[in-house]
């Protein structure tokens, strides 16, 4: 057993700090005497040293050492024979025990993602031939492609993950989020459903999340409820969290809070979704509960956006906007895709009078989650902005609530015929959507909408049944307030 074998055994045992010290010394020895170790041994030392740096979160240094290792591997492949080493008493064959070059590239890609250099991560993984890509490589590629807006290669990579691992549920969600039909996704899992016991729920699960990603909140809720009521899946925290989020999207904040509370009672260490839960509690004025929730989440982990958002909501609703701004910025730093963090920071900026900066954050939130629109207070072209944003959102997904809100906005700018069309589309997606029906009936009662006075428009909006207690609001304020649940911070 030679010294490289000892390094390898320590790495396998998780003794990263020990590996780092010893491999550093051995690499210096090798640099001073190139004949001391064979090319394969030098390659191993570089990889193990880079792995220890990766464990210590020194990602740039790790990338440097992984790059050197790959260069050494190229030199190794050109060597027909392993040179004898003075460090060896028993030589290990070159073909055995060498760290995988594919694994080295994957680790490099991980470093690049941690450094927020996604293009470099894609480049390194793209260089791996398709046949040599493992499921985790395809999964990372799929997520990176999706983040970069490259939908076609993302779909291809997700499908490859499912081909190799048909129960990769996150890959299924990835495909559904990219508008792949639920039936097509289900067909890729049919064989495993039919051959593996106790998987009869999977096809219903796929159906439920297909509804989620097409914006059909009502059917998504009903389908997940049917799953959650089954004895084997009762009290599943992930399903409860999905239900809470769906109720929130649908504007049923009471049920959303109930489901979040049920989920956190089952899992006291739950973090996912707690940012929305904290926001809902803050809106209800339960600031002491929000403060306690934030403390609990920080005790679990401060490396997620959720605790920062929850504390930010407490500050925002306590009118400490500068602190809310800082906490929102910190949350975005941890997770740039956190919609709640973007809305929090945008709302804080807006209330501090920095409207243009706020709009940037609201637009990014809308891009990530089209159903969570935010009003642009302080701008003159509110409805025009809203209509443009809604059209862009509906180009990617058809959603009852978005069509209804677009109809409301079109009424406000006297585009009555198109407003009627939008209400009709909304009702075709959800025949039980009462607000769309009321909007359509209201328009049908108007014999000549173009002659309607501004006063009548105000009366119509105030009689819509939502936010009717707004005091002293004009038609524009009441119209935007009617959609409050979709705007995030109000």
Q: How confident is the model at residue 446 (pLDDT cuts 50, 70, 90)?
A: low
Predicted local confidence at residue 86, as pLDDT? 43
Say how far apart CA 38 and CA 94 lie, in whole Å: 9
Q: Is the pLDDT assigned to residue 391 strictly greater than 90? A: no
Q: Is the pLDDT assigned to residue 390 strictly greater than 70? A: yes
Q: Is the pLDDT assigned to residue 196 strictly greater than 70? A: yes
Q: Is the pLDDT assigned to residue 79 strictly greater than 80? A: no
Q: What's 304's DSSP letter?
A: S
Predicted local confidence at residue 382, as pLDDT? 55
Contacts of 229 (CB under 8 A, 6+ apart): none
Q: Is the pLDDT assigned to residue 426 strictly greater than 90? A: no
Predicted local confidence at residue 80, as pLDDT? 46
Q: In this predicted model, which residue has the larger pLDDT, 306 or 392?
A: 306
Note the pLDDT tens digit of each residue in 120-165: 999 999 999 999 999 999 999 999 999 898 999 999 999 999 999 9
Say how far apart CA 135 and CA 138 lie, in whole Å: 5
Q: In this predicted model, which residue has the larger pLDDT, 274 or 459?
A: 274
Predicted local confidence at residue 402, as pLDDT? 78
Q: Is the pLDDT assigned to residue 45 strictly greater than 80? A: yes
Burial class (CB within 10 angstroms; exposed 0-12, middle 13-18, buried 19+) of 243? buried
Q: What is the mean pLDDT of residues 387-416?
A: 78
Predicted local confidence at residue 373, as pLDDT? 46
Say how far apart CA 366 and CA 390 lie, in whole Å: 9
Predicted TM-score of the model (pTM): 0.74
Q: Which of 264, 313, 270 is nearest to 288 (CA)?
A: 313
In this structure, are residues 205 and 176 in contact, taking their beta carbons and an 8 Å threshold?
no
Say how far apart CA 37 and CA 476 lie, in whole Å: 77
Q: Is the pLDDT assigned to residue 406 strictly greater than 50? A: yes
In this structure, are residues 251 and 280 in contact, taking their beta carbons and an 8 Å threshold?
no
Predicted local confidence at residue 360, as pLDDT? 85
Predicted local confidence at residue 385, as pLDDT? 64
Q: What is the mean pLDDT of residues 318-346?
A: 94
**Sign of torsion over alpha carbons 12, 17, 20, 23:** negative
Predicted local confidence at residue 358, as pLDDT? 85
Predicted local confidence at residue 89, as pLDDT? 41
Structure tokens at 4: 């490289």
Note the pLDDT tens digit of each residue in 238-257: 999 999 999 998 889 999 99
**The three-state (H, E, C) secondary structure of 98-142, written as one string:** CCCHHHHHHHHHHHHHHCCCHHHHHHHHHCCCHHHCCHHHHHHHH
Burial 263-292 (b: 16+ CB within 10 A, else e): bbeeeeebbebbbbbbbbbbbeebeeebbe
Mean pLDDT in the chain?
A: 84
Say how far apart CA 216 and CA 484 lie, in whole Å: 19
Contacts of 190 (CB under 8 A, 6+ apart): none
Say how far apart CA 404 and CA 386 lie, in whole Å: 12
pLDDT above 70 covers a percentage of the chain that reads: 83
Predicted local confidence at residue 460, as pLDDT? 40
């Amino acid at each position: 057993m030679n010294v490289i074998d000892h390094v390898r055994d320590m790495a396998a045992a998780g003794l990263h700090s020990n590996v780092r010290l010893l491999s550093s010394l051995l690499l210096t020895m090798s640099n001073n005497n190139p004949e001391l170790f064979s090319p394969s041994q030098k390659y191993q030392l570089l990889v193990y040293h880079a792995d220890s740096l990766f464990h210590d979160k020194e990602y740039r240094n790790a990338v440097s050492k992984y790059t050197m290792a790959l260069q050494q591997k190229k030199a190794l492949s050109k060597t027909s024979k392993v040179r004898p080493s003075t460090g060896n008493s028993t030589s290990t064959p070159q073909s055995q025990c060498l760290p995988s070059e594919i694994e080295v590239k994957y680790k490099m890609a991980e470093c690049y993602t941690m450094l927020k250099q996604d293009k470099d991560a894609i480049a390194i993984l793209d260089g791996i031939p398709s046949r040599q890509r493992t499921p985790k490589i395809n999964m990372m590629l799929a997520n990176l492609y999706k983040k970069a807006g490259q939908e076609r290669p993302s779909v291809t990579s997700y499908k490859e993950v499912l081909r190799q691992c048909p129960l990769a549920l996150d890959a299924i969600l990835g495909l559904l989020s990219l508008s792949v039909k639920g039936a097509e996704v289900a067909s890729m899992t049919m064989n495993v459903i039919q051959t593996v016991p106790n998987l009869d729920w999977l096809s219903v699960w796929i159906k439920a999340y297909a509804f989620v990603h097409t914006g059909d909140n009502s059917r998504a809720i009903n389908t997940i409820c049917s799953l959650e009521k089954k004895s084997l899946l009762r009290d599943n925290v992930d399903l409860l969290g999905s239900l809470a989020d769906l109720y929130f999207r649908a504007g049923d904040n009471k049920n959303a809070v109930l489901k979040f509370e049920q989920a956190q009672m089952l899992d006291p260490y739950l973090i996912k979704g707690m940012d929305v839960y904290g926001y809902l509690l803050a809106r209800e004025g339960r600031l002491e509960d929000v403060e306690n929730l934030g403390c609990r989440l920080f005790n679990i982990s401060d490396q997620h956006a959720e605790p920062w958002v929850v504390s930010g909501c407490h500050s925002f609703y306590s009118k400490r906007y500068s602190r809310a701004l800082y906490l929102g910025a910190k949350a975005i730093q941890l997770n740039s895709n956190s919609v709640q963090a973007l809305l929090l920071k945008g709302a804080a900026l807006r209330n501090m009078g920095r409207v243009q900066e706020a709009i940037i954050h609201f637009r990014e939130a809308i891009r990530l989650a089209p159903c969570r629109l935010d009003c642009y207070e302080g701008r003159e072209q509110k409805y025009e902005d809203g209509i443009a944003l809604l059209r862009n959102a509906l180009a990617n997904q058809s959603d009852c609530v978005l069509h209804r809100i677009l109809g409301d906005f079109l009424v406000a700018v006297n585009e009555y015929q198109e407003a009627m069309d939008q209400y009709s589309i909304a009702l075709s997606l959800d025949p039980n959507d009462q607000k769309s029906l009321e909007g359509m009936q209201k328009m049908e009662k108007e014999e000549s909408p173009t002659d309607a006075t501004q006063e009548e428009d105000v009366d119509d909006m105030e009689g819509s049944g939502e936010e009717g207690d707004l005091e002293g609001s004009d038609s524009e304020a009441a119209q935007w307030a009617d959609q409050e649940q979709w705007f995030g911070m109000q």
